[in-house]
Structure 1
Amino acid sequence: MIWLKDTAGFVRKLIRFLRDSELQLLASSMAFISVLSLVPLLTVSLYVFQQLGGFEESMSQLRPLIFNYFAEGIGNEAVSKLEQLVDRLRGGSISFWGSIALFIASLKLLNDMEMAVQKIWGNSKLRPIWQRAVYYTLIITLGPILAAVLLGLLSWKKLMFTQILPDKTLVLALAWLALFLLIRYLPKCQVKSKAALIASAFTALALFVMQIFYLKITKSLFMYDKIYGSLATLPVFLIWIYVNWTLFLFGHALCASLQQYWADD
């Protein structure tokens, strides 16, 4: 029964992390901020991706993956508007100051995300502002490049496993990699790779399962159309964002709990 005792000890640490960090409050705050800043971040990232030479084939794969994921949360009509915004930015239809505003809004979301993560890890001080600006810019610029390289590798026809595994495996692989990098390097402290791998794998799988249940629930909530009319997607969208942030922050709490549990052993 030693394993049961060890499991109980780990669960207690995890609960303490969740309580001390006020995870639900952080997730609620991030959900509200995302309503204002998520679209600018996505727009700027996709714009950077489209400006990269030699990644046209990867872009044709990544863009549908991203928009399909968001379509499940905010609806096809909203995603269509988002695609138009990306195309306008690429075509130069948006003014210089408009582009700057989009970039600043993107940095704001990343900054608030880091503040939430540091609170979960118990780090009272943030990195210097210049260092944060560099990190956020790298996330916006190098993130699309990393996704392009991974997509190119996974879609390589000579890799037989890409023809055997289900289509959703590609989405899971991208999510796992992105979550691992964010959990491993975003906190302002030393994070063990083993803990980050476990936490990111759990979080990616949880997000995948959540998306399946979310689709089933939204399809059954036909009454929202009669009550809210054209605003029917708004309450469901807010819930979708909140759950995504809750799982993301829970992944950090899980990683921190694992790391502390192993350190105390």
Structure 2
Amino acid sequence: MHLKQFNFRIKKRILDIYNFLTHEQEIFYFAASLSFYTIFAVIPFLFIIFSVISNFPSFQNMMKDLKEVIISNLMPTNIDILIQMLDTFINQASKMGMIGFVYIGITSLLFFRNYEFITSRMFNSKPRKFLDSLMTYWMMITFFPVMIALMFYLNVEIKTIIVNYKFDFFFTNLLPLILTSLLFMILFQVSANKTLIKKILIGSSFICACFWHCFKWIFFYYISYNKTYPSFYGSISILLIFMLWIYMSWTILLFGMRFCEGISIFAKSKKTPS
């Protein structure tokens, strides 16, 4: 009898944790929604990033390396093909007029509005008011490309400096993890729209980054050895694999946000006197 009660409590506790982390399984729908908007927003966003990079002389000599690093993080496989596609999109985007800039503004606004709604659910926080959200979106659109470009620039620059030293393996594996953790940490804090406990924020961001990099490695080998997608879908398989990777990345990121919120609630409950 006691064993049955114990098993029931364990199952209930596991189910409660699962429902909390998945926000009653809504997290999978949220990830799909963000993936849909990302497909329309990622090309304009990359256009902004490379437009910013092209204005800095220090970045121009390593534009190819930066593209490879950025694309490899967006999509672990078929990097060369995606770089060619990206170059085509950027060349066409450089010729766009006012309608093109309006398109970038609308897709970015739709993406960030959807993103704010979802992240407010993940962190149990109130959504920002329109003017506050507009300023936040403008800051993210303006400064995030600069910050991402700077982070990737440091990544490439440090790899170039240490390529002849024994610490090459250490930096090439640890540095991307640190930079990803830093990016997730900033993203969590901005998205939460409330004060987060620093230790929990740093820890959850690092854990989320570790899961993301591990899954990236698993995904790379799965796609490399599984030839079902290319043989069945042909050339369109690149787009399908890209969409799948975007969806899984958003799922991991939302799980990380929910994990951060769960640990924060647990820590606050421990401090509250019973």
Q: 1:114 to 1:63 in 2, by over 3 A?
A: same
Offset at residue 214 of structure 1 (A): 0.6
1:174 aligns with 2:179: yes
Q: For residues 174-205 of structure 1, what are the alpha-carbon distances to aligned partners after superposition, in whole Å with 9 as ceiling and x for unaligned?
A: 21111000112221222122111111101111
Offset at residue 17 of structure 1 (A): 4.3
1:19 maps to what in 2? Answer: 23
Q: 1:21 to 1:181 in 2, by over 3 A?
A: farther
CA distance in 2 between partners of 1:122 and 1:237 (Å): 30
Q: 1:31 to 1:153 in 2, by over 3 A?
A: closer
2:55 to 47, 51, 55: 51
2:210 to 194, 205, 210: 205
Offset at residue 107 of structure 1 (A): 2.9
1:133 aligns with 2:134: yes
1:217 aligns with 2:222: yes
Amino acid at match of 2:45: L
Amino acid at match of 1:183: F
**Stretch moving more, 55-64 or 206-215:** 55-64
Aligned length: 255
Q: Secondary structure at the match of 1:72?
A: coil
1:195 aligns with 2:196: no
2:74 maps to what in 1? Answer: 70
Offset at residue 244 of structure 1 (A): 0.3
Q: 1:44 to 1:58 in 2, by over 3 A?
A: same
Amino acid at match of 1:109: F
Q: 1:34 to 1:55 in 2, by over 3 A?
A: same
CA distance in 2 between partners of 1:50 and 1:86 (Å): 12
1:99 aligns with 2:104: no
Offset at residue 23 of structure 1 (A): 1.1
**Stretch moving more, 223-232 or 58-67:** 58-67
Q: Secondary structure at the match of 1:189?
A: coil
CA distance in 2 between partners of 1:74 and 1:130 (Å): 41
Q: 1:42 to 1:21 in 2, by over 3 A?
A: farther
Contact 1:117 1:187 in 2 (8 A): yes
CA distance in 1 between partners of 2:167 and 2:152 (Å): 11
2:3 maps to what in 1? Answer: none
Offset at residue 143 of structure 1 (A): 2.0
2:41 maps to what in 1? Answer: 37
Contact 1:58 1:148 in 2 (8 A): no
Offset at residue 135 of structure 1 (A): 1.6
Q: 1:62 to 1:75 in 2, by over 3 A?
A: closer
TM-score, length of structure 2 as denominator length: 0.79
CA distance in 1 between partners of 2:78 and 2:104 (Å): 20
1:84 aligns with 2:85: no
Q: 1:151 to 1:120 in 2, by over 3 A?
A: closer
CA distance in 2 between partners of 1:75 and 1:61 (Å): 12
1:186 maps to what in 2? Answer: 191
Amino acid at match of 2:267: W
Identity of aligned residues (%): 19
CA distance in 2 between partners of 1:182 and 1:190 (Å): 13
* Uncovered stretches (5+) of structure 2, i.e. residues with no partner: 1-11
* Uncovered stretches (5+) of structure 1, i.e. residues with no partner: 1-7
CA distance in 2 between partners of 1:200 and 1:11 (Å): 24
Q: 1:103 to 1:64 in 2, by over 3 A?
A: farther
1:262 to 263, 267, 271: 267
Offset at residue 212 of structure 1 (A): 0.7
Q: 1:234 to 1:164 in 2, by over 3 A?
A: closer
